[in-house]
Amino acid sequence: MAGERQANEQVVTGIYQGREVTLTDKTGEAPRQELQEILDSLIREDKFGIAGMSNSGSGTIQIGAPEGAHIQIGQGLYRLIVTGYEAYVDAF
C-alpha cells in the first residue's frame, strides 16, 4: 500500500533461567547494540517468565498477561511489550 513502510525486523537473543529469550524490533530502526542492552536489562530485572497479574480493581488474576511500557531509543519513542519469554519493540 502507498505510504506504508516495510520494516526489516531485528531479533536479539539472550538466556533467562536456562531458556532462550528474544527481543524483536518490529521497526527495524533501533541500533542493534541498544536492543541487546535493553534485552540484557530485562533479563537482569527478571521481566521474563510466566507471572500472575491482577487487573486494577479486579479480584481476578491473568496468568501470563503481557506487560507494556514506553521506552526511548535515541530520539525515538517506542512501545515495549513483554510476554512470557519474548519482548517486542514497536512504533509508538
Tens-place pLDDT, residues 26-46: 999 999 999 999 999 999 999
Query: What residues form DSSP beta bridges with 73?
Result: 76
Higher pLDDT, 68 or 29: 29
Helix (H) or strand (E) holding 34: helix 32-44
What average pLDDT does the structure give for the chain?
Answer: 84
Q: What pLDDT is recorded for position 57?
A: 55
Higher pLDDT, 4 or 87: 87
* Cβ atoms of residues 27 and 78 within 8 Å: yes
Cβ count near 64 (within 10 Å): 11
As a whole number of angstroms, the distance between CA 26 and CA 45 comes to 22
